[in-house]
Amino acid sequence: MSPITPRTMPGVLELLPREQEIHDAMRDTIRRGYARFGFLPVETPTIERTDVLLTKTGGETERQVYFVQSAGQLEQGGQPELALAFDLTVPLARYVAEHEHDLNFPFRRYQIQRVYRGERAQRGRWREFYQCDIDIIDRDELSVRHDAEIPATIASVLDALDIGDFTIRINDRRLMRGLLEEAGVTGEPAQTDLIREIDKLDKIGPEKVRDALLAGGMASGAADTLLQQTSTRTTSAEEALATLSDLGSGPTAAGADSLSEVLRVLADLGVPEMRYSLDLSIARGLDYYTGTVYETTLDDHPELGSICAGGRYDDLAGQYTKTHLPGVGMSIGLTRLFFQLREAGLLPANISAIDAVVTLMDEDGLGYALEVASLLREAGIRVETRMEPDKLGRQLRNADRAGIRFALIDGGAERSARTTTVRDLDEGTQETVPLDHLVQHLKHR
């Protein structure tokens, strides 16, 4: 009987090797994609100082922060001075402010790390999860053209992940505020509250949003107009620009002009029209977004929710420096994306971290087997060796389960002839080849 049940806490994702390989391959694809667009790698500590982490956050975020405290401190009843990062944007703000004079602006970085949120775990809601962020930060002013570069990069990366069609939905918070303004809703917190309701349009449907708008004090007619406007989902760049052109006056002008520029640059960047859509209901809950906002869903699986989101923020690091640092960025929730794809049976094809296993059937064969393995490793082939003899059938079965494609069989016959039998576990075929030709043979398959 074991005294302690081995188990993880809810809200963390732990994988077996075969799935870990797929997860890691996705992470690598994202990283390489970000690098291709000229973003630089940054990694920040998982643990930050509490005062740094909690500055610009509201009460809601603070509720989700994990505090970190040593056992000694705890005994002495001290307040925690450290906490786990709950996103990568706040650490980025600290990073840019701290290293301001050593960075080139506009500063573009990618960052792929785990973050922590102390919320009730749910399907697709994790307490520990990977975020894959890109952001562009500049001093004083940041060209709105970068607001097109961010989704262009994301579109390229999601394409490379080969997870089916997706749509990056784009809006501008100023546009939504303008529409509310026209509908007679002014001031805070009224606007923010209603923006939050409209953001749920696709999730809870127009009736319930209408109820919320009325409950928020809007007149029936104004609510209907607003609902109709925010239901806009364009399917082409032309349609999107025309929509914005119609909206481009009065309180909505700033947002519409800015979005138009974003859409034009998006086209110049060569992003296919089917990859994005102007969606006037998108708002994002986070209050620090001030302009462009993005939200991404898979076309065939909208129920999986947002797999990638972000936006523009006027002043990233106002709490840390007097320098005005506007930024724009997006984040792929890799843990959610991976999990949802797995649940939907949509994971990319199996990838093995091992190309071949050298089997071992008798003690006398060890030297030869290890020699064969060395030969392959020198050629860059990933090889596992058996160190104890075992039944061949068992070795083949284990290799098959691990997703390893090739098994090398070296019995007495192969040894004396300086050959090896290469069995292809995917095809169910095998061939005996001389050692001299082994590497070439494997690389050809």
- Interface residues toward RNA, by CB under 7 A: 9-10, 60-61, 64, 87, 117, 119-126, 129, 131, 196, 200, 203-204, 284-287, 305-310, 331-333, 335-337, 361, 391-394, 396-397, 400-401, 409, 411-414, 421, 423, 425-428, 430
Distance of closest approach, residue 174 Cβ to RNA, in angstroms: 18
Q: What sign results for the dihedral spanned by CA atoms 230, 234, 239, 241?
A: positive
Report strand pairing: 292-298 vs 406-409. unpaired
The three-state (H, E, C) secondary structure of 156-225, written as one string: HHHHHHCCCCEEEEEEEHHHHHHHHHHCCCCCCCHHHHHHHHHCCHHHHCHHHHHHHHHHCCCCHHHHHH
Report how far residue 327's alpha carbon sits from residue 142's, in angstroms, rounded to the nearest whole number: 7
Is residue 406 a contact partner of residue 422, using CB atoms and an 8 Å limit? yes
Is residue 118 a contact partner of residue 47, using CB atoms and an 8 Å limit? no
Distance of closest approach, residue 335 Cβ to RNA, in angstroms: 5
Distance of closest approach, residue 201 Cβ to RNA, in angstroms: 12
Q: What sign results for the dihedral spanned by CA atoms 340, 333, 59, 284?
A: negative
Distance of closest approach, residue 68 Cβ to RNA, in angstroms: 18
Q: What sign results for the dihedral spanned by CA atoms 414, 415, 416, 420?
A: positive
Single-letter amino acid code for the residue at 413: A
Distance of closest approach, residue 200 Cβ to RNA, in angstroms: 7
Q: Which phi and psi angles does 310 have, rounded to 5°?
A: 170, -160
Distance of closest approach, residue 257 Cβ to RNA, in angstroms: 25
Distance of closest approach, residue 1 Cβ to RNA, in angstroms: 8
In the complex with RNA, the residue whose CB is nearer, 93 or 244, is: 93
DSSP symbol at 101: G
In the complex with RNA, the residue whose CB is nearer, 103 or 190, is: 190
In the complex with RNA, the residue whose CB is nearer, 8 or 79, is: 8
Strand order in the sheet with 292-298: 40-41, 107-116, 128-137, 327-333, 308-313, 292-298, 166-172, 276-278
In the complex with RNA, the residue whose CB is nearer, 21 or 87, is: 87
